[in-house]
Structure 1
Amino acid sequence: MGWRLDPESLELLGGGLSPAAESVGEFHGPAPEGFRVPDGAGNELAIAGDSFSGASRFSRELANYVPAMRSADQDIAPAKRMADVRSRDLGRNDAFLQGGIDSRKDNIVGSYFMLNAKPNSARLFGKEDTTWEDEFQEEVEELFAADAESFEAYMDASGRNTLTAMVRLAVEQHTIHGEILAAVEWLPEPGRPFATAIQMIDSDRLSTPPNMLGDASVSLGVKLNERGAPIGYFIRKAHPSEFRKPEAQKFTYVEARHKHGRRKMLHIFEQRRAAQSRGLGAMVAAIPEMKMSKQFRQIVLQNAIFNSTFAATIESDTLDPSTVFQMLGGSDATPEAVQRLLTGYMAGHYQTMGELMGGSKNLNIDGVRIPHLPPGTKLNLNGAGKGGPLGTSFEIALNRVMAAALGLSYEQFSRDYSNTNYSSARAAMSETYKGMLSIKRAVADRFASEIYRLWMEEMLNDGAITSIRRRMPSWYEGRNKEWYSACDWVGASRGQIDELKETQAAILRLNNGISTLEIENARLGQDWRKQLRQLKREQEWKDAYQVLQGEKNQDTLNALSGNKNEKEVGDE
């Protein structure tokens, strides 16, 4: 029995009518070559060929290139598990890829993912109150940092990771699996300063239960409403590989939110198509090159090791085998004995060599002791072969593909800066920075902001934030939760290649009102308020102890500020 499809669907899927089912309208896969007639054939427009060469049905190169047309989830469903498994395997066994994933985390998160609270007083109170904003910012940031970065790991339900470590884990999961999955727990335990906790979940556990496979509202373990919005998740109680555990075949349904709107699950991924319910990792497109690159390096290294060995052969026009063996220090064997030994060579090679050469004192190639042989006798050293093209353009091309998949420049991925000058390094860093900034905003910032919002909701309900005074707008009214929890995140420092040039550029931006202290300090992974407080504290100590600062070099100051010195100005 075949599938019944309308002609339009048949055309999109690349199928055709089987001759036997033509009368009943059954469709059986791709049509045989020459059976399908292109649209427009038989009229004068067909003579001109296809409007778009990429969709040509006559091109020799593309004639057999007929990809299936499926929905986003139908594309992902059969590939998801294998793509994740292969990405994980490559990430943990390939040093280049492991380094690339770590570079992603270092470029996005860094060593400390710092909250920069941005409450909107104008929206909350109807007028701007910068004094309250400053008071709220300082209190909330200090309180959140104490809770989020505590070594007690209060934010992590498993009690292992600080917030920064959790965000780094989230970025790695997004790189490999294309998605982040976490449950919001409530742990009112003694000794905890707050009950909100985040339980990271392996995305392999998110799947559709067998009894729900026929439910059209469930796709890849995610239950959707009529608009395609997620309303719940089916989570295995154990990883599917742990088949000996009964829990591996049991599922828990977790709603996306509580009735009052608080999240119960965090599922973050970057959509590439409409109606997409799950994500795929960044490495998937380059898996063939990644696998081949690793095999290529292994083969070349094996070849190099093999090439370091050598064999010695002797050629003689005048000496018989027994004499040659004796001159090399071998045992005193007669020609008949040598012949008997050589006859059994294939069956007992190592035993034969031991008998012939056991008493050798001269045959010592590593010790460079080589016997003097009569005229007409040659001693040849034969290498095993040449090494491979490690470090050549072939390997560089493979590394460029892998770097592109991870959103890194070739230099950062390969750690090869040998052919890089300042301008190209800056260009590469700028492109990488833009890519990492978008991932930071879509993945790391969102994940951390969701946790920050959950934490703040609990703190406000507990009255733990003293800058929230009586008769202030409620968190649950209108969009107030957005105005209270608005924030930015300061992640990894952008880094500097030429500190002098980039410092000059920063000073010029500040002096001309193009940038702010907040932006410039964030580029370096610092908090501008803490920086100013520290500068003030240091200046007070310098004044108190009358520390000599040394005469400031005016030329240096002018160079840094972009101003011309006085002599040049006067000459003009």
Structure 2
Amino acid sequence: MKLNVIDRVIGAISPKAGAERAAWRSQYETYRGNYDASDTGRLQSQWNTQNLSAEMTDRYERDTVRARARDLERNSDVMNSVLRAFKRNVIGGGLQVRITTGEPELDCGLEHMWNQWCRRGNCDVTGQQSFAQIVRMCIQRKVADGGVLVVKRYTSQGVLPFQLQVLEVDELDTTQLQPKKQGNKVVGGIEYNRWNRPEGYWIRQYSVDGYTLMKPVYLEANDVIFYYTRKRPSQVREMSDLSPTLTRIKDMNEFMTAVTIKEKIAACLAVFIKRVNPSGPPGKGREARNGPSVQYEGKRVVPGMIMEMNMGDEAQMLNPAGQGTDATAFIKAQQRMISSANGLSYEATSRDMSETNYASARQSMIEDDLTYDEEKELLIECLLDEVYESFVISCWLKGVISPADFWEKKDRYLSHEWVIKPKRWIDPAKEANANATMLKTGQKTFQQICAENGRDWKKVVDEIEEACSYASEKGFDLMAMITGGPGEKEEEENNGKKANEK
């Protein structure tokens, strides 16, 4: 313990008092604790915390947080900038599946049926959304609400007996307490076994008027995809991904509203009439004038107006200059904190590129892509893979494909890869040169570069071969034109000249 000036003065005058002071201070330091974060003094007196399970922590706040997130989704531009950033970049301009069963004819048949099934009349039970639109909606609901339910329905409305129904998490019946299977437990409308593995979902049912509650319907867990982020081992239900930033977004909205009102007031123009002579009848302090006096109540200043005033009256203009408060710095700081809390850069949500160059933009994109990659991984493993597997099984049941060993070699027939359309390049020349260098030095393969550009490398090779064959029929070498090297005829002529010279 280091002595301060007062301790030294007291110790010099009365060593006993100084020793007692040092002893009591040492004892006080032991009460303070080993961590400043656990201090319960005046500064942290309002910091009340509890160690509870994830479900106990979220249960009573989940609905309120979700309702506030939806309110900001409807009324906040900042909130929508974050939501649109995720929706734009997680699947980009769309998603494609590359089927890899090893049989070209089977791959073509499944790919053709997949493209047909992804149309809105075939994949959606309501017939209103395509598969890509369903996925984008699920991403937005997962970020705002915390999760979304996708139910596999087996109907006869589309080209396959398999469609998707999207339900909001509000449809889970939290009042259901009795499990369907003995030994299970129902928490938040979801039935779990002893290992907290979901075995069923209790879905609310409404009457025609929409208000009268009916007996909930039990759905098997195999038919329901619960798309949400699990952050704690004891977490069994969703919580909004934006819960740490909702209050800050609301503060930004209120601040901008206050600034807008202030600027509106500062932009107003008012006119005050200054009377030189006091008002009153003639002969009592006011000079008489010919004709009736002019009244100013209800008058407005309009462009090009000419108005005669009373004798001695003067019009004074009031134009509030305002303080000219610059809200840019505050808004940028708040936007940066909101973006960083969600793993994004300021530029990704604000669309403000005025302070960036190529290097900083690339660095921000790399960091943002790491955040989007986490969401892509969850989306593919939790939603897309299961939907595709159910699609292939439905194709086999419908007779679109008919391998006799389907169930014995199911993994082979379900083999696939997801290809997401790439982003636009910031500087195409630099990006193209970098890819060419990495391809020549072996840092990337041709397959990797095609995948990064959202293309199937086999289709790329087939298209190049088709184009070269067609160009050869027309009498010129397409590959020589692309690479800038000599064509076949030029090489033959050069080789012939060299042979003659020898």
TM > 0.5 fold call: yes
Identify if the C-alpha distance between structure 1 residues 112 and 314 changes in structure 2 by more than 3 Å, giving closer, same or farther.
same
Q: What is the match of residue 38 of structure 2?
A: 55
Matches within 5 A, 1:117-266: 117-119=99-101, 132=102, 134=104, 136-148=106-118, 150-152=119-121, 154-189=122-157, 192-210=158-176, 212=178, 217-238=185-206, 244-246=210-212, 248-256=213-221, 263-266=222-225
Deviations 1:396-448 (A, max 9, x none): 12212332344332112111111111111111111111100110110255311
Unpaired stretches in structure 2, ≥5 consecutive residues: 1-23, 283-288, 487-502
Tell me the TM-score normalised to structure 2 length.
Answer: 0.79
Partners of 1:527 and 1:45 in 2: how far apart? 69
Alignment partner of 2:30: what SS? helix
Give the conservation status (yes or no) of the 8 Å contact 1:269–1:443.
no
Give the conservation status (yes or no) of the 8 Å contact 2:98–2:416.
yes
Matches within 5 A, 1:265-280: 265-280=224-239
Q: What is the match of residue 326 of structure 2?
A: 389
Instruction: For residue 136 of structure 1, report the CA deviation from its aligned partner.
Output: 4.4
Give the conservation status (yes or no) of the 8 Å contact 2:191–2:200.
yes
Matches within 5 A, 1:77-96: 77-96=59-78
Identify if the C-alpha distance between structure 1 residues 316 and 209 changes in structure 2 by more than 3 Å, giving closer, same or farther.
closer
Partners of 2:291 and 2:297 in 1: how far apart? 14
Partners of 1:306 and 1:556 in 2: how far apart? 70
Identify if the C-alpha distance between structure 1 residues 83 and 492 changes in structure 2 by more than 3 Å, giving closer, same or farther.
farther
Deviations 1:498-522 (A, max 9, x none): 1111111111222222223332233
Letter in 2 for 1:245: Y
Does the alignment pair 1:290 with 2:249? yes
Give the conservation status (yes or no) of the 8 Å contact 2:141–2:147.
yes
Partners of 1:332 and 1:414 in 2: how far apart? 63
Alignment partner of 2:466: what SS? helix
Identify if the C-alpha distance between structure 1 residues 519 and 353 changes in structure 2 by more than 3 Å, giving closer, same or farther.
same
Give the conservation status (yes or no) of the 8 Å contact 2:92–2:423.
no
Deviations 1:65-95 (A, max 9, x none): 2312211111111011111111112112222
Tell me the TM-score normalised to structure 1 length.
Answer: 0.70
Identify if the C-alpha distance between structure 1 residues 322 and 450 changes in structure 2 by more than 3 Å, giving closer, same or farther.
farther
Instruction: For residue 463 of structure 1, report the CA deviation from its aligned partner.
Output: 4.0
Give the conservation status (yes or no) of the 8 Å contact 2:90–2:372.
yes
Partners of 2:309 and 2:485 in 1: how far apart? 73
Letter in 2 for 1:255: E
Alignment partner of 2:319: what SS? strand
Identify if the C-alpha distance between structure 1 residues 222 and 518 changes in structure 2 by more than 3 Å, giving closer, same or farther.
same
Alignment partner of 2:68: what SS? helix
Give the conservation status (yes or no) of the 8 Å contact 1:179–1:281.
yes
Partners of 1:534 and 1:365 in 2: how far apart? 69
Does the alignment pair 1:110 with 2:46? no
Partners of 1:210 and 1:106 in 2: how far apart? 37
Identify if the C-alpha distance between structure 1 residues 435 and 444 changes in structure 2 by more than 3 Å, giving closer, same or farther.
same
Partners of 2:56 and 2:281 in 1: how far apart? 75
Alignment partner for residue 415 of structure 2, among 473, 486, 506? 486
Q: What is the match of residue 297 of structure 2?
A: 353
Partners of 2:114 and 2:218 in 1: how far apart? 31
Deviations 1:202-247 (A, max 9, x none): 110113235549x9811111111001101111110149xx98533x
Partners of 1:271 and 1:72 in 2: how far apart? 10
Q: What is the match of residue 524 of structure 1?
A: 453
Identify if the C-alpha distance between structure 1 residues 543 and 421 changes in structure 2 by more than 3 Å, giving closer, same or farther.
same
Give the conservation status (yes or no) of the 8 Å contact 1:104–1:406.
no
Unpaired stretches in structure 1, ≥5 consecutive residues: 1-40, 120-131, 257-262, 324-329, 342-351, 358-362, 558-572
Identify if the C-alpha distance between structure 1 residues 321 and 371 changes in structure 2 by more than 3 Å, giving closer, same or farther.
farther
Percent same amino acid at aligned positions?
22
Instruction: For residue 101 of structure 1, report the CA deviation from its aligned partner.
Output: 1.4
Partners of 1:205 and 1:44 in 2: how far apart? 57
Alignment partner for residue 412 of structure 1, among 348, 358, 366? 348
**Aligned Cα RMSD in Å?**
3.7
Alignment partner for residue 52 of structure 2, among 56, 70, 74? 70
Count of residue correspondences: 454
Q: What is the match of residue 128 of structure 1?
A: none
Identify if the C-alpha distance between structure 1 residues 306 and 64 changes in structure 2 by more than 3 Å, giving closer, same or farther.
closer
Q: What is the match of residue 454 of structure 1?
A: 390
Letter in 2 for 1:79: E
Partners of 1:76 and 1:236 in 2: how far apart? 21
Alignment partner of 1:254: what SS? strand
Identify if the C-alpha distance between structure 1 residues 461 and 50 changes in structure 2 by more than 3 Å, giving closer, same or farther.
same
Give the conservation status (yes or no) of the 8 Å contact 1:495–1:523.
no
Identify if the C-alpha distance between structure 1 residues 494 and 519 changes in structure 2 by more than 3 Å, giving closer, same or farther.
farther
Give the conservation status (yes or no) of the 8 Å contact 2:202–2:217.
yes
Instruction: For residue 523 of structure 1, report the CA deviation from its aligned partner.
Output: 2.3
